[in-house]
Amino acid sequence: MAGPLPRVVDAGLPGLRVIELALHADHRGWFFEQFRTQQYRNLLGQNVRFVQGNVSLSAHHVLRGLHLQPNHPQGKLVGVLRGEIWDVAVDARPGSPTIGQWRTTTLSEPSVSMRRQLWIPPGFAHGFVVTSGPALVAYQCSRVYHPEDEVCLKWNDPDLAIDWPVAEPVVSLRDSRGLSWAAWARGRVGG
């Protein structure tokens, strides 16, 4: 199915990108191409290879994150199939000039003409809160999940000062016990 190529928008931190995909819609519904290796290699300027795909369903106001794997960093291509999320990516790459900085984007189910994805490069912490739920989130990962390597950062850490749009989100016990940014950074980046 021919159509316009995806458009890439800089999301404000090195390597972080919003990808806008063309939707093909008619009276039957819609279709979009979720990923094509060569096309994304050209769009992102790197060879993106996915080895694991995940899908999560979360109720309204559920917050998941902030998660990362420091020794087995995952690049993630995140999109929403139903509902809406406020997605957060925190630069946690040692040596990065923007370490500790974060950016957000709203991702929602496909509209009549477009769908957005977020490319989160390896080394970023990732989280989201559901702003219109339930939300069905699909994401592809460039490395497999290593539970022994996963770090959960405190979603409401005052040093990060993320301005979440939900005052009292629903958070798992694990996520509520996340590490502070200062404790994590001290151990990882010598800060």
Model confidence pLDDT, tens digit, residues 24-57: 778 888 777 777 777 777 777 778 888 899 999 9
Please pick, among 40, 61, 67, 72, the residue that the annotation labels catalytic: 67
- At position 181, the amino acid (one-letter code) is W
Q: How confident is the model at residue 113 (pLDDT cuts 50, 70, 90)?
A: low
What is the model's pLDDT at position 152? 96
- C-alpha 101/C-alpha 59 separation (Å) is 27
- At position 138, the amino acid (one-letter code) is A
Assigned CATH class of 7-189: mainly beta
Active site residue 24: no
Span 71-102, pLDDT tens digits: 999 999 999 999 999 999 999 999 999 999 99
What is the model's pLDDT at position 114? 64
- C-alpha 122/C-alpha 184 separation (Å) is 17
- C-alpha 60/C-alpha 34 separation (Å) is 25
Active site residue 67: yes
What is the model's pLDDT at position 14? 92
What is the model's pLDDT at position 2? 47
Q: What is the pTM of this model?
A: 0.90
Strand spans (E) along the chain: 7-10, 17-22, 24-26, 29-31, 52-58, 63-68, 76-91, 102-108, 114-120, 124-141, 151-152
Alpha helices by DSSP H, listed for the chain, are: 37-44, 173-176, 181-189
Please pick, among 24, 60, 139, 145, the residue that the annotation labels catalytic: 139
Q: How many residues does the chain have?
A: 191
CB within 8 A of 166, min separation 6: which ones?
A: 61, 63, 86, 129, 131
What is the model's pLDDT at position 131? 97
